[in-house]
Amino acid sequence: MCASGFGAASCTIAQKRAIEYGISKATGQLIVCTDADCAVGPNWLMTLVHAHETKGWQFIAAPVQYIAKQQQVLQVFQVLDFLTLQGITAASVSKKFHAMCNGANIAYSKKAFEEVNGFAGIDALPTGDDMLLMHKIWQRYPDAVGWLKSTDAIVYTQPCPTWKAFFQQRIRWASKAAYYQDKRIIAVLLLVYVLNVSLLLALIVGLVAAMPKLLLAFGLALVLKTMVEFLFLAPVAQFFQQQQWLNWFHVLQLHHIVYTIIAGWLGRFGSYQWKGRRVEKPSTLVQK
């Protein structure tokens, strides 16, 4: 833990330096990472090692699951949102479209880490020990980055306890977009953001200006969006055995649109709290 006199960026640099030091002393071939507040199954390590040895993957993105204990709106909303993120991660990595992962469950070869010069170029950023590192390795090994579809590889963690903590976490995640070098990721994120903004504007203008046709268009678009996303999410929920939360999916659609707009905007132009410290608007990434 960093001393109180250091800012969030300094803490992040120290964290990455600690990881680099640990890797330099490691004698094994595979570096496996998770978070302190996570739980794993008995076959977790064996499953990751087996994937590395049999598939030749230099970077492994593995599944993470939220455990919701109560049917509270906050917990259910986070579970559904996180299931969507996991589904997008699995699909995008498997199709080699772009690199996504969650630092709570990743693994990479020591060889690949050293070949891309570790965290060089991203070491001063208040994030990046997962997705940005993954992107560096993907640039060197585009065919050796994979998503591990195995229930034995799942890492379990808890959702955020409050709405404030949830938004701070998601804003921090959204802030990574400022550092992406892959224009395909930026294009997809921009498209999703514009679609959500368009939907919300259609609803607001339709209500304020009393325009029934615009409200009808909004309703039809929302129904179509819900149907498409539900078809995508259903098999993801089945993989994680969390189908019971799908009953909430259509109810929380409007909430998700508003949340996406706010988190996306603040992630790019605002600041957030992380580890008790405020992190300001991200700077430009310069990779070495």
Q: Which of 54-58, 78-82, 144-148, 264-268 has the lowest mean pLDDT?
A: 264-268
b vs e for 63-101, b when ≥16 Cβ sit within 10 Å of the residue's Cβ? bbbbebeeeeebbbbbbbbbbbbbbbbbebbeeeebbbb
**Strand pairing category for 59-61 and 145-147:** parallel
Structural domains of the chain, ranges and CATH numbers in brackets: 8-279 (3.90.550)
3-class SS of residue 284: coil
Question: How confident is the model over 204-230, as pLDDT tens digits?
Answer: 999 999 899 999 999 999 999 999 999
Residue 161, judged by CB atoms within 10 A of its CB (0-12, 13-18, 19+), counts as exposed
What number is the average pLDDT over the span 85-100?
87
Q: What is the pTM of this model?
A: 0.85
pLDDT band at 8 (very low <50, low <70, confident <90, very high): very low
Taking the C-alpha atoms of residue 26 and residue 167, their distance in angstroms, rounded to an integer, is: 36
Q: Which of 219, 249, 222 minimizes the C-alpha distance to 234?
A: 249
Q: What is the pLDDT of residue 111?
A: 96
Cα R_g (the chain), whole angstroms: 20
DSSP string, 164-232: HHHHHHHHHHHGGGGG---HHHHHHHHHHHHHHHHHHHHHHHHHHTT-HHHHHHHHHHHHHHHHHHHHH
Q: Which of 139, 137, 176 minimizes the C-alpha distance to 59?
A: 137
